[in-house]
Amino acid sequence: MALNENRLDVAERLLKPHLKEDPFDAAAIRMLAELAARIVRWRDAENLLRRAGELAPGWTAAKANLALVLGRMGRPAEAMELLD
C-alpha cells in the first residue's frame, strides 16, 4: 500500500525487514525493485528483478519490468530479448 501511495520511505522500511525474514518472496523483491526504479537506482532495480525472475521464472510481470529497466539503462537489445 505504501508503494502505491508513493510513500517510498515507508515502503522500504516495510520491505527490507520482510525480505530478511523471507528472502524468497519474489513479489516483495519485485516491489523493492519498483521502489529502486522510482528513485533511479537502475542497477539495484535490475539486480532485484533478475532475482525475482530466478525465484519465479514464469512470472511475466517481473520479466516485463526488467525489460523496462534495461531500456531505461540504455540496453534496448537486452530488453527486447526478454520480450521475445
Q: What is the pLDDT of residues 41-51, one digit of tens each?
A: 999 999 999 99
For residue 42, which phi and psi values (nearest 5 degrees)?
-60, -45
Among 15, 43, 9, 45, which Cα is nearest to 27's?
Answer: 15
Kind and range of the H or E run holding 29: helix 26-38
Q: How far apart are CA 24 and CA 70, in angstroms?
A: 23
pLDDT for 7: 86
Look at the block and give the residue holding cell 532485484.
Answer: 48
Q: Rounded mean pLDDT of the chain?
A: 94
Long-range pairs, 35-44, Cβ under 8 A, ≥24: 35/3, 35/8, 35/11, 37/65, 37/68, 37/69, 37/72, 38/6, 38/8, 39/8, 42/69, 42/72, 42/73, 43/73
Q: Is residue 1 scored above 80 in pLDDT? A: no
pLDDT for 16: 94
Q: What is the pLDDT of residues 7-36, one digit of tens each?
A: 888 889 999 999 999 999 999 999 999 999
- Domains of the chain listed by start with CATH number: 8-83 (1.25.40.10)
